[in-house]
Structure 1
Amino acid sequence: MKAAWSGRGWAVAGLAALALAGGTATASAQKACEGKPDETRLHITVKGVRAAAGELTITIYPDDAARFLSPRGRIARIRVPAAKPVTTGCVAVPAPGNYAAAVYHDEDGDRKFGRSMVGLPTEGYGFSNDAPATLGLPTLEQARFAARVGDNKLTIHLKY
């Protein structure tokens, strides 16, 4: 059994990769999907946001375990102003298929995923399917979801 936050734990590049710079969505752009126009759109609802401070970073990954949570593995990323208790965003993906999503609440606005001295999260985070991150990061299989042509709804609950 792995020790808490070991192996692929919080100190590794996985969640740090979530903090890399990416596209920024403004409040007025939230109604339209970010990214290249496409027929496959993800409408993401993030619940459990504890403060209307900073922004939420939503990152979409392809159905490739080697790219999931990797610093350069994403296919899309948006940043939306945090709203309490629910924040929404929309992102277009290249085609129907399987994807995974990760989100973190950058409360202090430094565009870095906050961690304590021992590597534990200090800012909210979550994954598609509410994949568990109790003893480390979830696997692609735990976070994978199917997107079809058209509008797809996805809900993620933050953990703090």
Structure 2
Amino acid sequence: MRTKIPVGVMLLTMLGNLVLTSSVQANFNGKLTVEIDGLKNQTGLVCVNVFASSQGFPSDSKRVVSNQCSKISGTPLKLTFDNLKAGNYAVAVIHDKNSDGTLNTNALGIPKEGFGFSRNPAILTGPPKFSDAAFFLAGANTSIQIRLKYF
């Protein structure tokens, strides 16, 4: 024998499932592991900035979502960022050889220290756009690899 379920109960059940699904997605926090390779030496620090929008990318440290600097213990070097919400991110990395917290450049503005970006975009006339370095963080664990460049 078949039991009839009132339409109102079915709608409430479906609505409840939608609300539950939305709240789970809104509270999602993932872990990003950044693997940095191509270091010329183990002098100084490697500094990583994680951006969630094009605002300030790649150099405005006031606009970062998360950042870390680490002594170089070997290659490749891995840094982990916890509790990132699902979304688009781009990462900028510098090999801060003199540990002054900035990417040092020569008189022409050409970097004297190593640098790199997520998705390893080609660097022709300046830093990449956010969209060229952006990736989507959606899983519990996301790993990216960045190869440093030196001029």
Task: Map 1:21-60; keep pairs closer than 5 Å.
Answer: 39-60=29-50
Q: For the structure 1 residues 154 and 79, does the alpha-carbon distance in structure 2 shift closer, same or farther, using more than 3 Å as the test?
A: same
Structure with max Cα Rg: 2
Does 2:104 correspond to 1:97? no
CA RMSD of aligned residues (A): 1.6
Inter-partner Cα distance in structure 2 for 1:127 and 1:45 = 11
Unaligned runs of 5+ in 2: 1-27
Counterpart position of 1:61: 51
Counterpart position of 1:18: none
Q: Judge which range, 84-93 or 73-82, deviates more.
A: 84-93
Counterpart position of 1:4: none
Note the C-alpha offset of 1:132. 2.1
Counterpart position of 2:132: 142
Kept after mapping to 2: 8 A contact 1:57/1:104:
yes
Inter-partner Cα distance in structure 2 for 1:107 and 1:70 = 17
SS at match of 2:85: coil
SS at match of 2:119: helix
Counterpart position of 1:32: none
Kept after mapping to 2: 8 A contact 1:51/1:84:
no
Unaligned runs of 5+ in 1: 1-37
Q: For the structure 1 residues 136 and 79, does the alpha-carbon distance in structure 2 shift closer, same or farther, using more than 3 Å as the test?
A: same
Normalized against structure 1, the TM-score is what? Answer: 0.71
Note the C-alpha offset of 1:65. 2.1
Does 2:148 correspond to 1:158? yes
- Deviation >4 Å, runs of 4+: none
What amino acid sits opposite 2:126 in the alignment? G
Normalized against structure 2, the TM-score is what? Answer: 0.75
Q: Give aligned-pair identity as a percent.
A: 24
More helix by share: 2
Q: Judge which range, 137-146 or 106-115, deviates more.
A: 106-115
Question: How many pairs were matched up?
Answer: 122
Counterpart position of 2:17: none
Corresponding residue to 2:116 among 126, 141, 148: 126
SS at match of 2:124: coil
